[in-house]
């Protein structure tokens, strides 16, 4: 990473891609605010947030009728970006009360999913939740200041990251990052990764805010993740598998399925690369990668999106989350400079939130893309 990169981290300036394409600023802001309102308190077939009592709430995975650390931490990141402290604190209190372990091999990790009443469905964690929780909490600390426990945001974030790096050193448990490669694992016990979990732009910021003893680790993790994505993404199509080994090759089929291919998890890779470029501009490879991915999808209608091998062969299996995939293809524009970028941004702008049973994942990715392309997915220092 060099200061010559001139990403938003250095300049404080964020691209408003919609404005670049001629949309009026007040129209963009109105769309952003309206979409947030729809997710929080919109029609029953669109909303994904539900209050619980006087001071808690949750994002519901509508397709599985459960509450996941993925959605809870995503919701917190969305809320801090929207300056919505009430929703942020409600999501965090639910997470802290029902999902975070207080002892044992998962201490300070979060049970990855639970029922809407808080009853845990599994005890194990999913590391993408922990990294989003930590980053959202740091941003909350910067934007609103730390309050009394559990709203001492920066203290909570540091505790999560401390466990992610050091769990198991003094007893039972496993860290969430592989100590040898500095790569995030799929779960703490797994010998492989998930390319969509790799957020080097978060790790750069963790290197400034985590415990001082771990800051060098997070700098190394940022570099390792950027290099990893070079190998996990196909050199022609830009597609990546859902699960991949630490060398970037697709992971072998698991007992719960075959994740060697491009499907739901993998959609997030394009969004993550786009945001890393917007914030840090540390890896010029990300430009070509984003162009390749957009070129692959340019001739495919959203209604025809499918599961694909990473070299681009379609399965006779439609995408479960086509609106989410469109959203991430559009968010890739933050890094892309090819002829397909405008197409995806305009198509995304003209596409509404998804409704119905499967809406949760699509609409999370949709809102992140809306934030990013309007210049509102920001670093709070």
Name every residue whose Cβ is closer than 8 Å to that of residue 206 and which is 6 or more positions away in sequence. Answer: 134, 135, 138, 161, 214, 215, 218, 221
- In words, the CATH class of domain 53-176 is mainly alpha
Residue 116, burial from CB neighbour count under 10 angstroms (0-12, 13-18, 19+): middle
- pLDDT tens-place string over residues 220-238: 999 999 999 999 999 999 9
Residue pair 268/321 in contact by the 8 Å Cβ criterion: no
Annotated catalytic sites, by residue? 70, 265
| pLDDT for position 3 | 35
Phi (first) and psi of residue 221, to 5 degrees: -65, -40
- pLDDT tens-place string over residues 87-127: 999 999 999 999 999 999 999 999 999 999 999 999 999 99
Domain ranges of the chain: 1-42+192-381, 53-176
Which residue in 260, 366, 334, 344 sits closest to 42, CA to CA? 366
Whether the per-residue pLDDT at 4 is higher than 80: the answer is: no
Tokens standing for 269?
A: 């890779």
What is the distance between the alpha carbons of residues 219 and 204, in angstroms, rounded to a whole number? Answer: 6
Secondary structure of 137-174 in the HEC alphabet? HHHHHHHHCCCCCCCCHHHHHHHHHHHHHHCCCCCCCC
Tokens standing for 70?
A: 């993925």
DSSP string across 278-292:
HHT---THHHHHHHH
* Mean pLDDT confidence for 5-17: 94
Q: How many angstroms separate the Cα of 93 from the Cα of each of 41, 51, 66, 72? A: 19, 12, 17, 10
- pLDDT tens-place string over residues 268-295: 999 999 999 999 999 999 999 999 999 9
Higher-pLDDT residue of 4 and 174 is 174
Q: Which CATH architecture has domain 1-42+192-381?
A: Alpha/alpha barrel (1.50)
Rounded to the nearest angstrom, the gap between the alpha carbon of residue 167 and the centroid of all alpha carbons in its chain is 23
SS3 content of the chain, % helix, strand, coil (to 5): 50, 10, 40
Domains 1-42+192-381 and 53-176 share a fold: yes
Residue pair 188/125 in contact by the 8 Å Cβ criterion: yes
- pLDDT tens-place string over residues 48-81: 999 999 999 999 999 999 999 999 999 999 999 9
Whether the per-residue pLDDT at 329 is higher than 80: the answer is: yes
User: Residues in the chain, how many?
Assistant: 381
Question: Mean pLDDT score of the chain, rounded to an integer?
Answer: 97
* Mean pLDDT confidence for 24-31: 98
Q: How many angstroms separate the Cα of 366 from the Cα of each of 258, 300, 371? A: 26, 19, 9
């Amino acid at each position: 990473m060099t200061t010559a990169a001139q990403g938003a981290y250095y300049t404080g300036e964020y691209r408003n891609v919609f404005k670049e394409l001629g949309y009026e600023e007040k129209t963009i802001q109105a769309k952003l605010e309206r979409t947030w309102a729809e997710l929080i308190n919109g029609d029953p077939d669109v909303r994904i947030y539900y209050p619980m009592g006087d001071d808690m709430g949750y994002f519901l995975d509508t397709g599985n009728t459960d509450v996941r650390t993925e959605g809870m931490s995503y919701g917190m990141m969305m809320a801090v970006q929207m300056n919505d402290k009430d929703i942020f604190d409600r999501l965090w209190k639910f997470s802290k009360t029902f999902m975070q372990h207080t002892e044992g091999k998962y201490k300070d990790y979060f049970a990855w999913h639970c029922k809407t009443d808080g009853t845990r469905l599994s005890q194990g964690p999913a590391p993408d939740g922990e990294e989003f929780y930590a980053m959202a909490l740091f941003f909350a600390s910067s934007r609103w200041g730390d309050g009394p426990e559990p709203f001492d945001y920066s203290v909570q974030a540091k505790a999560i990251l401390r466990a992610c790096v050091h769990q198991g050193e003094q007893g039972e448990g496993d860290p969430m990052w592989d100590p040898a490669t500095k790569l995030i694992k799929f779960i703490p016990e797994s010998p492989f990764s998930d390319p969509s979990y790799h957020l080097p732009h978060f790790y750069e910021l963790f290197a400034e805010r985590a415990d001082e003893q771990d800051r060098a680790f997070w700098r190394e993790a940022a570099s390792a993740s950027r290099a990893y994505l070079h190998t996990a993404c196909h050199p022609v199509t830009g597609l990546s598998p859902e699960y991949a080994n630490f060398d970037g090759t697709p992971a072998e089929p698991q007992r719960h399925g075959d994740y060697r291919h491009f499907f739901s998890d993998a959609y997030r890779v394009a969004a993550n690369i786009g945001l890393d470029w917007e914030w840090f501009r540390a890896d010029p490879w990300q430009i070509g990668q984003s162009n390749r991915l957009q070129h692959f999808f340019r001739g495919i209608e959203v209604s025809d999106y499918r599961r694909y091998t990473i070299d681009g062969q379609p399965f006779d299996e439609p995408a479960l989350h086509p609106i989410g995939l469109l959203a991430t293809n559009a968010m890739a524009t933050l890094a892309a400079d090819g002829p397909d970028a405008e197409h995806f941004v305009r198509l995304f702008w003209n596409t509404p939130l998804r409704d119905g049973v499967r809406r949760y994942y699509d609409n999370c990715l949709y809102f992140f893309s809306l934030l990013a392309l309007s210049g509102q997915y920001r670093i709070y220092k």
